[in-house]
Amino acid sequence: MPAHNISLIGVPLDLGAGRRGVDMGPSAIRYAGLLPRLTEAGFRVRDLGNLAAPVAETCPTPAPGEKLRYLEPIAALCAALADRVAACIEDSQLPLILGGDHSLALGSVSGAARDRRLGLLWIDAHADFNTAETTRSGNIHGMPLAALTGRGHPLLTALAGQTPAIRPEHVALIGIRDLDPLEREALRWSGVRSYTMHDIDRRGMATIIEEALAVVTAGTDGFHVSFDLDVVDPQEAPGVGTPVLGGISYREAHLAMELIATSQQMISMDLVEVNPILDERNATAALAVELALSALGKRIL
């Protein structure tokens, strides 16, 4: 396995989601043995603890029909996370960010994109490509990929120090199967390379990941992996914020991570949307641990 120096960063955020509970995701993943498993595998790991995340009870209640729910506290937390991630990479650490809802990727990806041309591998059942103009819910966890590619409110698009944080042609989106109508149209014209579950079913995960890696490494200085556990079928990952039937299998998820490790160009990663309230014996958090190990180089033999 590669000799990475890894920094763990917890982000107990659920303001971006429509369902409570994902704020406990970092604790669930740690409880599943992430740090000792990484240490046993030979990695040098430092756990930086959790960022201080606001909770809904201490924030002003969004107005009915609000299209950017909890915008300011989410933006502030993501700005702090971007600074932390950028500092870790500058210190030759690989940041492994534990979520928390997917709006945190605004910070993790923006931090990784500072002072470099970054590729982005977004593995998710959802495109997260809404803006205030297209959203049905107003939940910001459905918007980070749009914002990272320059679409959306300035508080969300400028965290990397440049807009867009990521060029659309350097993004590959894998596993999508649940899109809003206006989001679908925006994605079609975005320049983002998108692979649906139909593509995976027809062509196989290995082919899709190999193509996606070519996208995110072409002309870049490395890539970030943003892995939403809801991309996995809910029979195998029940503890997620927004489960969608028909997801990838346990082995397809591991194969994707193993191929990512083979590229040796991943510089940061987040694991998001683990909701222990909905989980069964912490199975989804345990899966997150296993997938992190595979992405970092663990092999069967």
pLDDT exceeds 80 at position 1? no
Strands 94-99 and 44-50: unpaired
Question: Which residue carries 């966890």 as its tokens?
Answer: 141
Q: Given this model, what pLDDT does residue 301 score?
A: 74
Largest CA distance in the chain: 54
pLDDT exceeds 50 at position 2? no
Q: Which position has the higher pLDDT, 241 or 223?
A: 223
**Residue range 269-282: mean pLDDT, rounded:** 97
Global pTM? 0.97
**Residue range 4-12: mean pLDDT, rounded:** 95
pLDDT band at 94, cuts 50/70/90?
very high
Q: Per-residue DSSP letters for 33-55? A: THHHHHHHTT-EEEEEEE-----
**Residue range 208-224: mean pLDDT, rounded:** 98
Q: What is the pLDDT of residues 34-92, one digit of tens each?
A: 999 999 999 999 999 999 999 999 999 999 999 999 999 999 999 999 999 999 999 99
First to last CA, the chain: 11
CA–CA dist 148, 106 (Å, integer): 7
In the chain, domain spans: 5-295
Angle formed by the axes of helices 71-90 and 105-113, nearest 10°: 40
Say which CATH topology domain 5-295 has.
Arginase; Chain A (3.40.800)
pLDDT exceeds 50 at position 31? yes
Active site residues: 102, 124, 126, 128, 141, 228, 230, 273
Q: How are the residues of the chain apportioned to helix, strand and coil, as percentages rounded to the nearest 5?
A: 45, 15, 40
